[in-house]
Structure 1
Amino acid sequence: MEFTWTATQNGQSAKQVLSEHGVSHRMFTQINHSNGQVLVNQKPVAPATQVKPTDKVTLVVPAEPADPAVPVSHESLSVVFEDQHSLVVLKPAGLTSVPGPSNRTDTLVNRVKGHLVAQGDVNLVPHIITRLDRDTSGLVLIAKHRLANSWLNQQLADHTLQKRYLAIVGGQLTKDHDLIDAPLRRSDEGFNQIVAPDGKAAQTEYWVKQRCAEWTLVEVLLHTGRTHQIRAHFQSLGHPLLGDALYGGNQQQIQRQALHAFSLSYRDPLTNEIRQFETPLPADMATIIKQV
């Protein structure tokens, strides 16, 4: 793939022009190791080459061939949006995001790879930007090539990429809005996360959307991205998510954590257009809400 921008200032190198457009130092290293190129007015140059205003600076990004260790899956994939750089899909609860010891053949990555192969894409390494736990449903953003991965991960780090969740927690939260600011670390006894003074900083903001005697529906915005952050933070308040066996949630109404990534927004790295997507609650969570 080729990406071209016009130099606008005197005294700049080709690398500086590309850096202004989100090409990171790490990205340059990756491209150098995979036979990428920097061109000025369609002629190969060293990244340090000085350019003049109106010069066309092009980055040639090599294709990413398939990893033979990652099998293709042709199971169903719910595509919400797609262009040549990114893909937004709706992940069902129960589907693992990336291959691991328990499942190497039919995860979200395997299905996206199958989708890309079926389209004849030359970039066959899906980059999951907003990974979800296996039993969390909702919108997932995927970069289709290494430069899009760099751009979108930078937005994640800058908090300009936002994902919001809907969660059903046990009991009644008393505050309509709050910020849970409590450090998290892995428990010494298991895979769960716990609030602890020696944990990593973690902030979870929530707004109550609906209450009943047995549960509270909340909209959640993460200000940090710790493992199991939403699940662990609400458990620490004494209000674990319904269905969340790992964190002590009541499983009478739902058999998985009642957590759904319903909203996603990010900036298109080339056009600067804000892309926003929303999806309704899945049937298992919607059924609980409708019972009131």
Structure 2
Amino acid sequence: MKNRFTLQFEVQHEMLLREAIALWGISKRALTAIKFDGGDILVNGIRCNVRYVVAKGDTVTIIFPTEEASEGLIPQHGELDIVYEDEALLVIDKPAYMSTIPSREHPDSSVANFVLGYFETQGLASTVHIVTRLDRDTSGLLCIAKHRHIHHLMSASQQQGAVHRQYEAIVYGQTMSQSIIVPIGRKESSIIEREVREDGQFAHTDVEVIEYGRLNDCIVSHVRLTLHTGRTHQIRVHMAHIGHPLVGDELYGGNKQVINRQALHCVSLTFRHPLTKKMLSFSSELPKELGNLLKEN
């Protein structure tokens, strides 16, 4: 029997059981799944209806149903650089050239494949829920929820702007510290490429210059970028829009003469834990292949 995801909490005052459950952010959809798809709700170890009146000090245990991975996601076993792990979350330092999820061009050996394989070795009855996704050629920190309910709570935090991410990048030219607030949407002629467009989604990126350098007789800027929204290719589109595309980013105006991927790395990830409510903060050093770009003279 695989280990199903379980929550347990103590009731603080008398109320209906369903009200106590709602205080823990469990959605109506999740509650329906618990009731009809093999989950369970216990009060002091005894199965109870959600209309049951709980008293202060009662212990409520929520046992969630088993999760099934999608047919297209195959468990694989590969190396994962795990920065943090508990019963709810994984934080991983992803290398470049590894997809976050499988795609038609790269159907396996993604973070999701390896995490699902890792879950299997732990006997977890869960599938993979990506909280903060990275492009295949972008390296750095990303967060994964171990259960649908945790993903639901983390998504709500993201919508409230409570998941903070910072990146570092090497861009062409001598840029300035600034805020870029322009909408991003899909380019009509492409299923992959994005662009700044009036009918796009609101997008906000802060740019802070760390230092300037030279790369093959070109001036480059080492910048720190703070995301306030999470649009697809947001940093790459915004930097290209102001005339400073990322080094190595062929899709948005750069080239691959000195590096075979966009020079972008997620260096910082901060958020409040969805269960304990404690602030968690993680950092990752800029890879040598990016730092060395600033030393090329």
The secondary structure found in structure 2 opposite 1:216 is strand
Work out the CA distance in 1 between the residues paired with 2:220 and 2:52.
62
Instruction: Report the equivalent of 1:222.
Output: 227
State the percentage of identical aligned residues.
35
- Aligned partner of 2:46: which letter? K
* Residues 272/91 of structure 1: CA separation in 2 closer, same or farther (3 Å cut): same
The secondary structure found in structure 2 opposite 1:179 is strand
Per the TM alignment, residue 7 of structure 1 is displaced from its structure 2 partner at its CA by: 2.0
Work out the CA distance in 2 between the residues paired with 1:257 and 1:20.
43
* Residues 148/252 of structure 1: CA separation in 2 closer, same or farther (3 Å cut): same
Per the TM alignment, residue 68 of structure 1 is displaced from its structure 2 partner at its CA by: 5.3
Per the TM alignment, residue 251 of structure 1 is displaced from its structure 2 partner at its CA by: 2.5
Superposed CA deviations along residues 62-112 of structure 1, whole A, max 9, x for unmatched, are 232455542222222211121222111111111111122222221111111
Runs of 4+ in 1 over 3 A off after TM superposition: 65-69
On the 8 A contact 1:126/1:142 being kept in 2, the answer is yes
Work out the CA distance in 2 between the residues paired with 1:170 and 1:187.
23
Of 15, 25, 32, the residue aligned with 2:28 is 25
Per the TM alignment, residue 172 of structure 1 is displaced from its structure 2 partner at its CA by: 0.7
The secondary structure found in structure 2 opposite 1:246 is helix
Work out the CA distance in 2 between the residues paired with 1:59 and 1:124.
15
The secondary structure found in structure 2 opposite 1:212 is strand
TM-score by length of 2: 0.90
* Residues 197/68 of structure 1: CA separation in 2 closer, same or farther (3 Å cut): closer
Structure 2: gaps spanning 5 or more residues: none
Of 71, 80, 84, the residue aligned with 2:83 is 80
2:252 matches 1:247: yes
Structure 1: gaps spanning 5 or more residues: none
On the 8 A contact 1:128/1:142 being kept in 2, the answer is yes
Per the TM alignment, residue 216 of structure 1 is displaced from its structure 2 partner at its CA by: 1.0
Superposed CA deviations along residues 30-57 of structure 1, whole A, max 9, x for unmatched, are 3334221222222222223332222222
2:181 matches 1:181: yes
Alignment size in residue pairs: 288
Instruction: Report the equivalent of 2:290.
Output: 285
Superposed CA deviations along residues 91-135 of structure 1, whole A, max 9, x for unmatched, are 1111111122222221111111122223x3222411111111111
Instruction: Report the equivalent of 1:70.
Output: 73
On the 8 A contact 2:213/2:294 being kept in 1, the answer is no
2:207 matches 1:206: yes
Work out the CA distance in 1 between the residues paired with 2:34 and 2:134.
29
Per the TM alignment, residue 139 of structure 1 is displaced from its structure 2 partner at its CA by: 0.8
* Residues 139/52 of structure 1: CA separation in 2 closer, same or farther (3 Å cut): same
Instruction: Report the equivalent of 2:276.
Output: 271
Instruction: Report the equivalent of 1:35.
Output: 38
Work out the CA distance in 1 between the residues paired with 2:51 and 2:109.
44
